[in-house]
Amino acid sequence: MHKRRTLAPKPTTSQDFASDDDEYDDVSCQKCASGDSPAELLLCDKCDRGYHLFCLSPILASVPKGSWFCPTCSNHKKLKSFPLVQTKIVDFFRIQRPADSQTDLMLENRKKRRRAGSLVLSRKRRKLLPFNPIADPARRLEQMASLATALTATGTDYSNELTYMRGMAPRSANCASLEHGGMQVLPKEDVETLNLCRSMMGRGEWPPLMVVFDPREGFTVEADRFIKDLTIITEYTGDVDYLRNREHDEGDSMMTLLSATSPSKSLVICPDKRGNIARFINGINNHTSDGRKKQNLKCVRFNVNGECRVLLIANRDISKGERLYYDYNGYEHEYPTKHFV
């Protein structure tokens, strides 16, 4: 599935093949000067210089689709921040604003639900918690602007729900009963908590998260305040498609949605065109103990009213400023993470 990028095709004759092989043998990485790991060595489509996937900043998990240009040839411009203008941010995220009185009522109802839940927590299973937005509206605008910057830079439209596009899997294909071995049903109270999170975001009450750009990791997500264990961080969203249509897709953000008994019915979430903050949360290097210690989220697939949904949930308390990570290989063990930082 992961293949080495080659030079752009040129007219060749039978006499040229031997010299072509010799040319590939001479390719080395411009960063580490090694020709090792040739399957992970990219060739720039402009200058023909080589770079290991794991030597780039940020590293690449797989060979990108289409043409690829090295840092020198791509002439990367400075990242352009999304305008910190309330009207632009409201329009970008399509935020609906209720009247102040309605907002106060909803906040009070949420507080009552939390108090009621705390009384029975010790006698029942541990419930999922809604995220706790920062009270300062100006800071919430900064959080939203950070996500808008990342989405704009990657050419992604914002969507906080699964999308079903013509030519891909229809919504009727998302049937949790097809899951191989069954799927955990999200309890009614947790469904209400998930819906509360969605409605809060629709009003601009944003989860306390900041998207930042790291030279080594690319876009990544940090906690902007203390987050409790079992807090719903986000739902993984994007276009839903059949796995069979994406078997040769080299995108590095696909997420398993449905692992069906019949492989032809398995589904994946593809956030390359539409998505939310989930696509910028990075994975751990699960080949090292230090990498595994970074994990502070778990990725869980649930049956929600008969449909498959994927949630990212805090699996321990998370401190302010801590970056968010989960295990990309929570279900399968196919994702290459050995070079993750």
Question: What does the DSSP assignment read for 47-95?
Answer: T--EEEGGGSSS--SSPPSS----HHHHTPPPPPPPP--HHHHHHHTT-
Report the pLDDT averaged over residues 105-125. Answer: 49
Rounded to whole angstroms, the Cα distance separating 279 from 151 reads 10
pLDDT at position 13, please?
46
Please, which pLDDT band fits residue 152 given cuts at 50, 70 and 90?
very high
122: left (phi over 0), alpha (psi -120 to 50) or beta: alpha
Q: Please determine, for residue 331, whether its predicted confidence score (pLDDT) is greater than 70.
A: no
* Selection from 253, 246, 232, 247 nearest residue 300 by Cα: 232
Q: What is the largest CA-CA distance in the chain?
A: 80
* Selection from 162, 234, 154 nearest residue 201 by Cα: 234
Q: Please determine, for residue 5, whether its predicted confidence score (pLDDT) is greater than 50.
A: no
* C-alpha distances out from residue 313 to 92, 119, 229, Å: 25, 22, 8
> Is the peptide bond preceding residue 58 cis, with omega within 30 degrees of 0?
yes
Q: What is the H or E stretch that residue 188 is in?
A: helix 188-202
Q: Please determine, for residue 2, whether its predicted confidence score (pLDDT) is greater than 50.
A: no
* Selection from 186, 182, 328 nearest residue 260 by Cα: 182
Q: Which fold has domain 27-76?
A: Herpes Virus-1 (3.30.40)
Report the pLDDT averaged over residues 140-166. Answer: 96
Q: Which two tokens stand for residue 125?
A: 């299973």
Burial (0-12, 13-18, 19+ Cβ within 10 Å), 250: middle
User: Is the C-alpha dihedral spanning 173, 178, 180, 182 positive or negative?
Assistant: positive
- Are the CB atoms for 216 and 150 separated by under 8 Å? no
Report the pLDDT averaged over residues 173-186. Answer: 92
Q: Out of 43-47, 74-78, 91-95, give the one with best mean pLDDT.
A: 91-95
Does residue 161 or residue 113 have the better pLDDT? 161
pLDDT at position 187, please?
96
Does residue 216 or residue 146 have the better pLDDT? 146
CATH superfamily of 127-135+151-326: SET domain (2.170.270.10)
Rounded to whole angstroms, the Cα distance separating 230 from 239 reads 26
Q: Please determine, for residue 67, whether its predicted confidence score (pLDDT) is greater than 90.
A: no
Report the pLDDT averaged over residues 239-243. Answer: 96
pLDDT at position 117, please?
42
According to DSSP, residue 176 is labeled: G
pLDDT at position 247, please?
82
Average pLDDT, the chain: 81
pLDDT at position 330, please?
55
Q: How far apart are the first and last CA of the chain?
A: 22
Contacts of 241 (CB under 8 A, 6+ apart): 168, 169, 267, 268, 270
- Cα atoms in the Cβ-side hemisphere of radius 13 Å centred on 209: 24
pLDDT at position 77, please?
55
Site of tokens 């920062």 = 134
- Decide: pTM greater than 0.95: no
Please, which pLDDT band fits residue 50 given cuts at 50, 70 and 90?
confident
The domains of the chain are located at 27-76, 127-135+151-326
pLDDT at position 51, please?
86
